[in-house]
Chains A and B, each alone.
Chain A
């Protein structure tokens, strides 16, 4: 399942995976499946973040121009 939903849903799922690790609930059989899912989510979040940063980098100078105008 590569669809990780929106940012909040993905973050919630990732948090749940991390929590299951923290609580020692992950068996060795589940470990790979959970790690793979967590990796998919993290990569998806990073990709979105990079795309958002690129858009922000494009827009920020336009906003800065407003700030510099006198």
Chain B
């Protein structure tokens, strides 16, 4: 064998060669000399340990010669790392750009050089997740999908509620509890779905589509609080597009107060928690009930009371008026009669007095013509044999006996001569 200036003439067994190689690699890239490696996840597989194939970002998968780093993280360090990633809503998946920290190891039985992961740059991953989220929102906005479900008309009385949730969870109980205690007859049609984890997006999409086809008034997607990772399924593009495509209004009540998922952005109405969502739906029904049942009922009652009060007051007032009117009328008539009576008495008295005066005057006048008085003055009354008073010479004849009445008696006298009086 020829001498190579950088090589050695020593012939090594395979095992010895690997020992030498391992020692060399470890001295530069081993446990004591870890490195950061950046790349795109081409493939990820987890079974206790997690295995990641990392390639240069942007390299084509069809390129058979692209370098691949077979990285792995053993179960013990992976458990806390996974937890940390999940808390931030990150799931290692193909296409994700990731910075891995670790060291090279050599697995001689398969002749493979691997990379043992000890750390993952979570902050970097978060930035990437945020970027991808922003890109998705921008895409949905550009397609006009962000407002699509908001344009769907909501039933004025959404009593048929389609529910996408996981029964037994706190969010499910909080939401259904609000509907149950609202006093209204909500009919809840539940389509069970995982609300976290990798299977969740597909199940949520299927549930929304099932309920949309079923014909409910609204679809409620409900999930209680959790880590960002727990809620990551609600940032999934498939879920977002399912909401936009739904012909039924989709309401969301996902997570805690501060959480806002892409599903929330896509939804017709978003409540900050499942409890609030239940309150909001009950509030819609209550609002309708108030406007169309309670208020009209109140108005009918008020108007009825008002009409009856007015009618009662009217009849009572008319009764009083009639009593007083008749009394006044009778009193007026009575006063008129009393007045008339008094007038009559006065008039009668006056008439009597006047008559008495007239009578006295007549009496006095008559007394002046009293025959007795005349007889006493020397006048006499001559009557013929027929008793008729003689007032003319024609009433007697010569030789006729006449009776002469004087004041104290009468005597007979014979007419011896008639002598006329020259006027």
Interface string of B300-322 (1 = CB under 8 A from A): 11001000100110110011011
Tell me the smallest distance from the CB of B341 to a CB of chain A, in Å. Answer: 16
Cα A38 to Cα B325 in complex, Å, equals 11
On whether the beta carbons of A31 and B301 are closer than 8 Å, the reply is no
Chain B: interface residue total (CB-CB under 8 A):
24
On whether the beta carbons of B301 and A63 are closer than 8 Å, the reply is yes
On whether the beta carbons of B311 and A49 are closer than 8 Å, the reply is yes
Known: A31-B330, A42-B322. A49 touches B315 (CB 8 A): yes
On whether the beta carbons of B294 and A42 are closer than 8 Å, the reply is no
Interface residue B326 (Cβ < 8 Å from any Cβ of A): yes
Known: A49-B311, A49-B315, A66-B294. A18 touches B301 (CB 8 A): no
When distances are taken between beta carbons in the complex, the residues of chain A under 8 Å from B297 are: 63, 66-67
Cα A28 to Cα B325 in complex, Å, equals 12
On whether the beta carbons of B322 and A38 are closer than 8 Å, the reply is yes
Chain A: interface residue total (CB-CB under 8 A):
29
Interface residue B213 (Cβ < 8 Å from any Cβ of A): no
Cα A39 to Cα B315 in complex, Å, equals 11
Query: Count of A-B contacts with CB under 8 A?
Result: 62
Interface string of A28-63 (1 = CB under 8 A from B): 100100010011001001100100110010001001
Interface residue B329 (Cβ < 8 Å from any Cβ of A): yes
User: B residues 319-365 with Cβ under 8 Å of A?
Assistant: 319, 321-322, 325-326, 328-330, 333
CB closest chain-A residue, reference B282: A70
Cα A11 to Cα B307 in complex, Å, equals 14
Partner of B298, one of A31, A45, A67: A67
CB closest chain-A residue, reference B308: A53
CB closest chain-A residue, reference B325: A21
Tell me the smallest distance from the CB of A54 to a CB of chain B, in Å. Answer: 11
Tell me the smallest distance from the CB of B323 to a CB of chain A, in Å. Answer: 9
Tell me the smallest distance from the CB of A15 to a CB of chain B, in Å. Answer: 8
Tell me the smallest distance from the CB of A36 to a CB of chain B, in Å. Answer: 10
CB closest chain-B residue, reference A21: B325
28 pairs, CB–CB < 8 Å, chain A vs chain B: A7-B311, A11-B314, A14-B318, A17-B322, A18-B318, A18-B321, A21-B326, A21-B328, A22-B325, A26-B329, A28-B329, A31-B330, A35-B322, A38-B318, A38-B322, A42-B315, A42-B318, A42-B322, A45-B311, A49-B308, A49-B315, A53-B308, A56-B304, A60-B304, A63-B297, A63-B301, A66-B297, A70-B286
